[in-house]
Structure 1
Amino acid sequence: MKLRTQKITALMAAAVLGISAFGSVPVTAAESTETADIGEAMAVDGDAVSSDLVAGTFKPSDVTCKAQDSYEYPFLGLKLSLSKELLKQIKDQSIAMLTTEDLENQTNAVTYAYVSWSKMTEEQKNAEIQKMGTGYDDWVASLDRIGTIGVYDEASQKKLDEITGCTEHKELGSSSDGKYKYYLSTNKDADEKLTKELGKIKTDITEMAPYQNISVFDQPQDTSVNPEDVKSVGKFETTGIDGKTYTEKVFSDYDLTLVNVFTTWCSPCVKEIPELQELYKEMKDKGVGVAGVVLDTTDEKGNQDEEAVKKAGILQEKTKAKYPFLIPDTTMMNGRLQGISAFPETFFVDKDGNIVGDTYTGSHTLDEWKEIVEKELKNVSK
């Protein structure tokens, strides 16, 4: 099984400098989402990138879930509406709201997932911990758990005390297929007023949306368009991380351009950037270009995320990448960038903007990329 908690969000966000208010864990990195690999993955090109980008401290209270009118988790078939008092304490950061999920490796089906609420003292609220190491685990363990609301498969239902860190459990309902049950779990020794506030949470159980291999706390993505069916990047105008304007003509200078779609929090993506820079350096005279697309620099509505743009700029500087890092345009490159949920993903574009060759998921070494590019270049030359 692979356990993914808010810890992954916190550390991945911290690993590339700057913390923002994440409410759940991120989308899947194609090769690894394990936090233990982050330090190794960030150490790239023989430079101490890991010390530049991962060293230092952050406040774990900054990456707890934020107060909002309601919380809807379609993959769990769950919608929560919290009491005014509970929302007030979350906003005041006297209560920490976190998310935890566990997925079955073989099927990528959720085994359990829950939202937890814990008391947070002023000391815990203001605590700063190392971005790497066990500091975050220790911080979470130090919180006084009030309770959880979650969904559990049959095996997990037998271990509710262990999984939730709670002692009392109230069944709230079942999924329509009968595979999962929903529970409100509380601690008998917790503040009685706070456990009563958890009891006031309005819980709506709905049909579970088909899982899409992303965090179960994320929103489903539009899969009506298969990005691999898109045959051209079309016409676009966008901005690069360097502030320059780029259009589809960015591809016209090369017979073939490798387009690497990545995110700032994805450790395999970061590790791969120096390999792609070396590939670009060695093969640009052969008519091969490289372009990066930093997908998390805009949200699903096309709004630019300035914090992610800043992180991408730091990555480009630290990894010494000379090829452009592009912010997605409003057309998402004619729809080609839509629906990508595993990173990095790489495809190829010819000088006329046509999408050619195969799509490659996951990071690769320089030698592997050379072999792939030579193959794709021969196909373009035919």
Structure 2
Amino acid sequence: MKLFNGKLNKSLVLVLAGCLAVSSVGCGTAGSEDANKSDKGMQAGKSVDQAMAADSTLIEKSGDGSAKIVQPGAGGSQKIKPAEHLMPQLAEYKFPYAGLKLSFPEKINKLIEQKKVALMPREKADKNGDLEYAFLTLSNMTAEQKDAEIELSGDSYDKWADGLERIGSIGFAAASMKEADVKAVAKGDKIKEIGKTEDGKYKYYLVLNSKAPADVTGEFEKTTIGIEKMMPMPQKFGSAFVDPADLQAGDKNAISQLNVKTLDGEKFTAAEFGKYDLTLVNVFATWCTACVGELPELEKLYQDMKGKGVNVIGLVTDTVQGVANDGKVTVDEKALALAKKIREKAKVSFPLLQPDAALFAGYVKGVTSYPETLLVDRNGNVVGDPISGAHSYGDWKKYIEAALAKVKGKK
């Protein structure tokens, strides 16, 4: 995947800024605008929600399969400087899934380049994964905000982003959304409708905050905006601001060539798929609190289904930093150690894997929201579409049963 800063992949800014935007079911936990739970199973009790909001190394599986905090407030989470992972300055921004092309005035470009302002998406999806709104926002940053460090887990990113002074926003919202509500989510008081989609589902807006410096809002208002036909998004819970090339690069079928190592360095290949009718492959990161909170549900599923032809494995993407010039992966030792602690605390017994170079440079770089789950048959074929977000045991049982019926129906 293309890099913003040579260290973290481009999808991080989208994940942080709410590409999934459903905080309880995915890693829109950092950057989400609302919470939509997958079903009552995940809502029962606060233990899983608390675990997702806490440091991911501090969860413990209870007898009923739920997770609970064992050491609230202790350290161990990974930290980043969000100002180092913003959208870069470009001569032109093209967002086919949003139906937008943007060119900022020279003054705005300089501010972005100098990191005096933050350019980032803010989006929200409904429980079905359809976007309710998607705005590209520009906000002022103080020196303190520019240098701030936040934890990747919990709502730290939201708090950081919400503390920025909004200059303006450009994007779309559902046509049914009232302008007052659009102003609220775009954090502005001056709004101008600038277009609509062909089907009338969405309206495009330019929103300004009159309390921000007039010279900057005035320049932002001069942005050249092109509205085109939206490219259909190939997956639910995606971001309107992701590069289509990234999603195309993330070929789900690459999983059929699996040849990786477990967290403990043991070999694990696609041959394992042949031992089961179906394998659930959960793709997650250690910093994703929703992912970690889901692990007890997946462990319960594994214990109940492993004798019925169904396996569960986890692919921990951030255990690898990148691919070196010699084609070998660079292991993130800190993330690897954290993944092992998570496995221990959550009492996970199913295999947790590290991506290899091919998988990291291929499928993984196309994942724009965490967790993402694939259901794979015994021949290594992905059954159906990727499943976004964290789900309850009950939800997973339904997904598994439907996929098994499809697989067995082909025999």
The 2-side partners of 1:60 and 1:120 are apart by: 11
Q: Are 2:50 and 1:22 aligned? A: no
Pick closer, same or farther for the CA change 1:340–1:55 going to 2, 3 Å.
Answer: closer
The 2-side partners of 1:236 and 1:141 are apart by: 40
- Alignment partner for residue 217 of structure 1, among 212, 217, 241? 241
How far the C-alpha of 1:111 sits from its partner, in A, is 3.0
Match of 2:148 in 1: 127
Pick closer, same or farther for the CA change 1:243–1:206 going to 2, 3 Å.
Answer: farther
State how many pairs are aligned.
353
The 1-side partners of 2:306 and 2:159 are apart by: 48
How far the C-alpha of 1:152 sits from its partner, in A, is 2.7
> What SS is found at the alignment partner of 1:197?
helix
Q: Is the 8 A contact 1:241 1:325 kept in 2?
A: yes
One-letter code aligned to 2:13: F
How far the C-alpha of 1:25 sits from its partner, in A, is 2.9
The 2-side partners of 1:169 and 1:233 are apart by: 46
Q: Are 2:213 and 1:191 aligned? A: yes
The 1-side partners of 2:165 and 2:316 are apart by: 38
CA offsets, 1:256-289, max 9 Å, x none? Answer: 6734232215545423445656777899899986
Match of 1:7 in 2: none
Q: Are 2:138 and 1:117 aligned? A: yes
Match of 2:61 in 1: 45
**Structure 2, gaps ≥5 residues long:** 1-8, 30-34, 36-47, 63-68
Match of 1:270 in 2: 292
Q: Is the 8 A contact 1:344 1:363 kept in 2?
A: no
- Alignment partner for residue 25 of structure 2, among 27, 32, 44? 32
Match of 1:316 in 2: 340
> What SS is found at the alignment partner of 2:61?
coil
Identity in percent:
26
Q: Is the 8 A contact 1:269 1:344 kept in 2?
A: no
**Structure 1, gaps ≥5 residues long:** 1-17
The 1-side partners of 2:202 and 2:80 are apart by: 36
Match of 2:42 in 1: none
Pick closer, same or farther for the CA change 1:294–1:195 going to 2, 3 Å.
Answer: same
How far the C-alpha of 1:63 sits from its partner, in A, is 4.3
State which drifts further: 127-136 or 90-99: 127-136
> What SS is found at the alignment partner of 2:240?
coil
Q: Is the 8 A contact 2:140 2:166 kept in 1?
A: yes
CA offsets, 1:76-113, max 9 Å, x none? Answer: 2112223343233223221122321233446x443322
The 1-side partners of 2:207 and 2:267 are apart by: 53
The 1-side partners of 2:372 and 2:329 are apart by: 19
TM-score normalized with structure 2 length: 0.63
> What SS is found at the alignment partner of 2:97?
helix
Match of 1:347 in 2: 375
The 2-side partners of 1:50 and 1:105 are apart by: 30
Mapping of residues 262-341 of structure 1, within 5 Å = 262-264=283-285, 266-273=288-295, 290-294=312-316, 311=335, 314-320=338-344, 321=348, 323-327=351-355, 330=358
> What SS is found at the alignment partner of 2:242?
coil
Pick closer, same or farther for the CA change 1:204–1:306 going to 2, 3 Å.
Answer: farther
The 2-side partners of 1:359 and 1:144 are apart by: 39
Q: Are 2:84 and 1:91 aligned? A: no
One-letter code aligned to 2:146: K
Q: Are 2:98 and 1:76 aligned? A: yes
How far the C-alpha of 1:203 sits from its partner, in A, is 1.6
> What SS is found at the alignment partner of 1:181?
strand
